[in-house]
Structure 1
């Protein structure tokens, strides 16, 4: 059974949008099947599907936002995003 989506703070979401617009290469630490993975890539788009939000990377990989543990060294749990 899939984990229910937990929305990320709006200010954290904004960080993804800024990186996408600027074409920055980003470091994303995320969970995939409860295993921590790290990828460096550009974000080409953000997508909402079935009330879940995703980043889409330049290799067309989609990562659900609430699975992202760190984005460019910042945690969604950081006080500045709450």
Structure 2
């Protein structure tokens, strides 16, 4: 059974969308199998299905957004857990 999806901060989501639109291959760190894994890839698409947001990478891998530790040197922990609406 997989763990429940935890939505990511909307500003971090904006970082992911910017990298995807720029179509750049970037360094990223993801959590998988209770450890962190570094990779270098291009985000092809960001989607949501059944309440879980994912990104598809150029190597075909599908990664849940809540498993991303950092993308292009930007760490998800640099943002608060939730967005504040002003």
> Is the shorter-chain TM-score for this pair beyond 0.5, marking a shared fold?
yes
- Structure 1 unaligned regions, length at least 5: none
Q: What is the CA–CA distance in structure 2 between the aligned matches of 1:48 and 1:79, rounded to whole Å?
A: 21
Query: Considering only aligned residues, what root-mean-square deviation do their CA atoms show, in Å?
Result: 1.6
Aligned to 2:57: 57
Listed one character per residue, the Cα deviations across residues 14-73 of structure 1 (whole Å, up to 9, x for unaligned) are 111111111111111011111211110111100101101111101111110111111112
- Contact kept in structure 1, 2:29 and 2:69, CA below 8 Å: yes
User: Which of the pair has more CA radius of gyration?
Assistant: 2
Q: Stretches of 4+ moved more than 6 A in 1?
A: none
Deviation at 1:79, TM superposition (A): 3.7
How far apart in 2 are the matches of 1:43 and 1:59? 9
Question: How many corresponding residue pairs?
Answer: 82
2:41 counterpart residue number: 41
TM-score (norm 2): 0.85
Q: Deviation of residue 8 (structure 1)?
A: 0.5
Length-normalised TM-score, structure 1 = 0.89
Paired position in structure 2 for 1:27: 27
